[in-house]
Amino acid sequence: MSLGYRLLLLAAALFHLSLLLSWRVGFWNGYTFDSAATQGWRGWDFFAVYQAGHNLRSGVSIYESDNERIEVVAPRYTPYRYLPFVAITIGWPLSAMPPLWAYRLWLVLVECVLLACAWDSWMRPRAPSRGALCAAMWLVFTPFYLELYMGQFSLLQAAMLLVILVALASSSRRAERTTTLSWGLSLLWKQNTALLAPVWIKLGRWRALVVAGVAVVALSLPYYVWDPSGLPSFLGNLRAPAPAPALGNLGARQALYSLLSALAPRMGQSEHIAAQWVWLGGVLLATLWITWRARKDAVPLVGLWMTTYFMVYHHVWEHHYVMLLPVYVSLYRRTGDWRLLLLYGLTAVWTPYRLIDPQGLAALDASMRWTPLSPAWVDVAYHASKALPTLLLWAYLGRDLLRRERAA
């Protein structure tokens, strides 16, 4: 490996260390809306799981967030919104520890998983230079800072996606079993990988669909039998609220709302809702059509559908973008295409939030979360900062898959 790539890895490692240090000190907090708006109070999402685990220990619904009905043990938390699996496997055992120590232990685990992903991405390519670049992609991805700050677990979902993408590159029976197991676990962890079902249908992986489906039902149904009110609470997360300003939402649908609001300021809510449905249906139909027409090339198909998640889901927070990391890494490791590095860079870099709110006013004015930025073009640019490169990645993958089909 050349000296240049060694220096690249060193620079990536130093920047990553700065993210870890800032978790404690906070000098990067002003570069993201969530860390600025929460005034440096960390761990909101982890403590949601921690509180859910304590609720379970107390015989209370994991979805209960009325402080009058539960014993509040977390210093701060958001309502729990996942399947019972996360609360049982993570929240239950860690809630036996003091909350801050449990949070720290969780961050150690998350960091170890990220380093394992970086190591695997470094070792797998034949060319050491490409491997070094793939490892650096994990280390300098700025949305990971919010993963630590919020105590999130999207990085573990990203790790499961990496396992799936690596296994799909092999045709062995063991790799097929690994794919099935990893997909099943990812469905229990965060349900966005359900979008991969059309890929398994395309590839004829019927066993994966059956085994994963049975596992999800078998590991979730007993809890919902015990807590019947929990299922409506969980399903409520899938319902999109009416389109409205949301500074923390960086998904394509929020960018669409921002763009239409700028182009047609008098557009009513009903028109915005209709536009959202047209977008949602159009993207899903286009992705299904590409999947139907494309060759059975598993890696780009998985990448296409995971990119589609960011295009169609109603709430996409900045830390969610770590789930695109294995897609970028796997595609670049496979192709070496500089265009992928360009799109990765646009996704990896900080959003322009620091330029928009240099004084950190979001910490003082809670209404900023629900107020569009002014002038309108600033609001559009901010919300497009992650959504636009993701849209371009979706188009890149769709074009590549269709071009391969025509060349066959």
Pick the closest to residue 137 from 396, 322, 278 (CA basis). 322
Q: What is the mean pLDDT of residues 248-254?
A: 96
The pLDDT value recorded for residue 39 is: 87
- Whether residue 5 is predicted with pLDDT greater than 90 in this model: the reply is no
Residue type, 265: P
Q: What is the mean pLDDT of residues 263-290?
A: 96
The pLDDT value recorded for residue 193 is: 97
> What residues have CB less than 8 Å from 114, skipping those under 6 apart?
138, 139, 144, 155, 159
The pLDDT value recorded for residue 406 is: 59
The pLDDT value recorded for residue 96 is: 96
The alpha carbon torsion through 114, 116, 120, 122 (nearest 10 deg) reads 70
Interval 313-372: pLDDT, tens: 999 999 999 999 999 999 999 999 999 999 999 999 999 999 999 988 888 888 888 899
Provide, for the chain, the percentages of residues in helix, strand and coil under a 3-state DSSP scheme, each rounded to the nearest 5. 75, 0, 25
Interval 120-132: pLDDT, tens: 999 887 788 899 9
Pick the closest to residue 33 from 306, 308, 373 (CA basis). 373
Interval 169-190: pLDDT, tens: 887 788 889 999 999 999 999 9
Interval 35-56: pLDDT, tens: 999 988 999 999 999 999 999 9
- Whether residue 301 is predicted with pLDDT greater than 90 in this model: the reply is yes
The pLDDT value recorded for residue 408 is: 52
Q: Quick count: other Cβ atoms within 10 Å of Cβ 59?
A: 8
pLDDT interval class at 407 (50, 70, 90): low
pLDDT interval class at 405 (50, 70, 90): low
The pLDDT value recorded for residue 363 is: 84
> What residues have CB less than 8 Å from 267, skipping those under 6 apart?
260, 261
* CB of 152 closer than 8 Å to CB of 319: yes
* CB of 36 closer than 8 Å to CB of 360: yes
Task: State the Cα–Cα distance between residues 102 and 151, nearest whole angstrom.
Answer: 10
The pLDDT value recorded for residue 172 is: 78
The pLDDT value recorded for residue 268 is: 94
Please classify residue 277 by burial: count the beta carbons closer than 10 Å to its beta carbon, then call 0-12 exposed, 13-18 middle and 19+ buried: exposed
- Whether residue 309 is predicted with pLDDT greater than 80 in this model: the reply is yes
- Whether residue 300 is predicted with pLDDT greater than 60 in this model: the reply is yes
Structure tokens at 315: 């709430």
What's the sign of the alpha-carbon dihedral 79, 83, 88, 93?
negative
* CB of 319 closer than 8 Å to CB of 292: no
